[in-house]
Amino acid sequence: MPHSLFVADLHLSPERPQTTRVFKEFARSIASRAEALYILGDLFEYWAGDDDLADPNHATVTSTLAELSQNGTAVFIMHGNRDFLIAEDFARAAHARLIPDPTLIDLYGTPTLLMHGDTLCTGDTAYLSFRAKVRQPTWQTEFLARPLAERKAEIEALRQRSEADKQLKSIVEMDVHPDAVAAALREHAYPRLIHGHTHRPALHRHRVDGRDCERWVLDSWYDHGSYLRCDAAGCEPIQI
């Protein structure tokens, strides 16, 4: 049956080579049978700019996606909170298409809204303020003009600070807010919703304005690989 796959929060990095190996095998033996693979943010642990394509881990991931696309599986990539600097040079090298957050698609007859998920976490006001700043074109242009090594060092410092800040935040603060979910569903005419970011995989059912909607949260790849398989009959989460 024709089907599409959805993943998020792989956080691929040189420090976790086993995860990259699992991703390569997933692309060749599982995703290659799908019509499309949607990567809904945080493919990489971080992305300092498209001038880092020569990094061995990045090159491996890029060639894996290019091979998948050339063999007939369409590859779509959405920015996450860790890899929002991915740009067209990477997309061309990976034979992939960058899609905006959010993106509404017709998934085998079911309107389906795709998001990374971070904008739904409206309780985390400090993060949303930071997100607004770094998504501005002026900020990105100035940041990308700096030497690559300097950018990587700053990103590493930000990652460490972020991990420390998480210890001070509640689970509720870092999870999606019901009002934000309802607003997104309402704005896009009550579709199915698929997103990542929270690392809390589950199927949630929402009643919004008298309409029944389902929300799929994708798993991270920190402990194991996983994906959501969707076809005309519905969606199924699968662990690798």
Residue 211, annotated as binding a ligand: no
162 is in an annotated binding site: yes
Residue 235 pLDDT level (bands cut at 50, 70, 90): very high
The predicted pLDDT at position 166 comes to 66
User: CA torsion sign, 238 to 225 to 86 to 184?
Assistant: positive
Is 69 annotated as contributing to ligand binding?
Answer: no
Q: Is 152 assigned a ligand-binding role in the annotation?
A: no
199 is in an annotated binding site: yes
Q: Cα(first)–Cα(last) distance of the chain, in Å?
A: 20
Does the pLDDT value for residue 164 go beyond 70? no
Among residues 234, 227, 214, 233, the alpha carbon closest in space to that of 37 is found at 227
pLDDT band for 162, please (50, 70, 90 cuts). Answer: confident
163: pLDDT strictly greater than 90: no
CA distance 155 to 176: 25
- Measured CA to CA in angstroms, residue 213 lies from 25, 108, 113, 194 at distances of 33, 16, 11, 11
Mean pLDDT of 116-143: 96
Secondary structure class of 100 (helix, strand, coil): coil
In this predicted structure, what is the pLDDT of residue 70? 98
The DSSP letter of residue 135 is: T
Distance in angstroms (rounded) separating the CA atoms of residues 37 and 26: 11
pLDDT in tens, 88-108: 999 999 999 999 999 999 999
The model's pLDDT over 70-79, given as tens digits with 9 standing for 90+, comes to: 999 999 999 9
How far apart (Å, rounded) are the C-alpha atoms in residues 230 and 32?
15
CA angle 173, 178, 182 (to 5 degrees): 145
Does 229 carry a binding-site annotation?
no
Range of the domain at 47: 3-239
- Mean pLDDT over all residues of the chain? 95
Q: Cα(74)–Cα(32) distance, rounded to whole angstroms?
A: 9
Tell me whether residue 51 is annotated as binding: no
- Which pLDDT does position 160 carry in this prediction? 83
Does the annotation place 118 within a ligand binding site? no
The pLDDT value recorded for residue 159 is: 83
Confirm whether residue 81 is marked as ligand binding: yes
Q: Which positions ≥6 away from 176 have C-beta within 8 Å?
A: 117, 120, 121, 195, 198
Binding site annotation covers 133? no
pLDDT of residue 161: 81
Q: What is the CATH number of the domain that holds 122?
A: 3.60.21.10
pLDDT at 169: 63
How many structural domains is the chain composed of?
A: 1
Burial tier of 219 (Cβ tally within 10 Å: 0-12, 13-18, 19+)? buried
